[in-house]
Amino acid sequence: MGRKPDGNSSDRHFTAGHTSLAVVLQVRRAALQVLLWRRSSPPFAGAWALPGGYLDAHETLEHSIRRHLAAKVDVRELAHLEQLETLSDPRRSPTAREVATAFLGLVPCNADPAVPADTSWHDVGALPMLAFDHASITQSGRERLRAKLSYTNIAFALAPDEFTISELRELYAAALGHDVSPTNLQRVLLRRDVLEPTGARRASGRAGGRPGALFRFRERRLQVTDEFAVLRPRGRVAGSAP
């Protein structure tokens, strides 16, 4: 009988490339959008993909993805960046064994990064055909954001420095994919001590009306504010969440 391979057998050793990828999200034109770039080389030449690239020998994963974002899509400043998931399916690349670590990055709605010609923003609800497993990674990023909007202050990374409650509600609605009540949103976020008034007001638009009070987030770093909260669609009551 042949000897069964043990943990030191050479057939258990292989070299796998390690890439870092980023699901960079921003609310643009009242929709949650993701930044994609078009691949120029095989496999999947010409297909859209998440920005990223190989991990260098002497860098961390976070340094790697920040380097690739700066070099490939010219995104250098993110309001928030966190590790999302690691993908290790041996079949995820058709040409080589590759492990990928994906990150979630958020850009405020008032920022407008100057991206290259081969890069553009796409609605997460209407994605083009994506290379590799990048479609499922993008959906994981969207779901992570939606979940954290309920129980953390992560909306600070989508919002400008100052905003009205109506403007903030529009950001929540775009990211969540459903409307929320501005009255309940204000009540919940103020009770959690997430927002504070600036004392200023937004000037009335052409339609007139009362100027809107301006608010800001007390902290512009991630904090858990209510670990059991769930943001429901407008009109549905769920405990303390809008």
For every one of its 242 residues, what pLDDT tens digit does the chain have, with 9 covering 90 and above? 444 445 554 556 667 789 999 999 999 999 999 999 999 999 999 999 999 999 999 999 999 999 999 988 888 889 999 999 999 998 888 888 899 999 999 999 999 988 899 999 999 999 999 999 999 999 999 999 999 999 999 999 999 999 999 999 999 999 999 998 888 899 999 999 999 999 999 876 655 567 789 999 999 999 999 887 777 776 654 444 44
Identify the domain boundary among 121, 149, 177: 149
Q: Are residues 75 and 114 in the same domain?
A: yes
CA 195 to chain CA centroid, Å, is 21
Q: Which residues are paired to 121 by β-bridges?
A: 35
34 closest CA partner among 111, 104, 110: 104
Give the pLDDT of residue 193: 94
Q: Which residue range(s) make up the domain with 174? A: 152-217
- The length of the chain is 242
Domains identified in the chain, total number:
2
Give the pLDDT of residue 174: 97
In a domain, 187, yes or no: yes
Q: Are residues 70 and 55 in the same domain?
A: yes
In Å, how far are 11, 54, 97 from 15, measured between CA atoms? 11, 13, 8
In Å, how far are 21, 40, 84, 97, 98 from 138, measured between CA atoms? 10, 20, 10, 21, 18
Give the pLDDT of residue 206: 57
- Look at the block and give the residue holding tokens 């529009």: 170
Give the pLDDT of residue 5: 47
Give the pLDDT of residue 171: 97
Q: Are residues 175 and 143 in the same domain?
A: no
Q: Which residues are paired to 152 by β-bridges?
A: 224
pTM above 0.75, yes or no: yes
Q: What region, left, alpha or beta, does residue 123 occupy, with left being phi > 0 and alpha being psi -120 to 50 degrees?
A: beta
Give the pLDDT of residue 239: 40
CATH of the domain at 129: 3.90.79.10
CA atoms of 227 and 225, how far apart (whole Å): 6
Q: Are residues 67 and 160 in the same domain?
A: no
Q: Are residues 129 and 62 in the same domain?
A: yes
52 closest CA partner among 34, 71, 33: 71
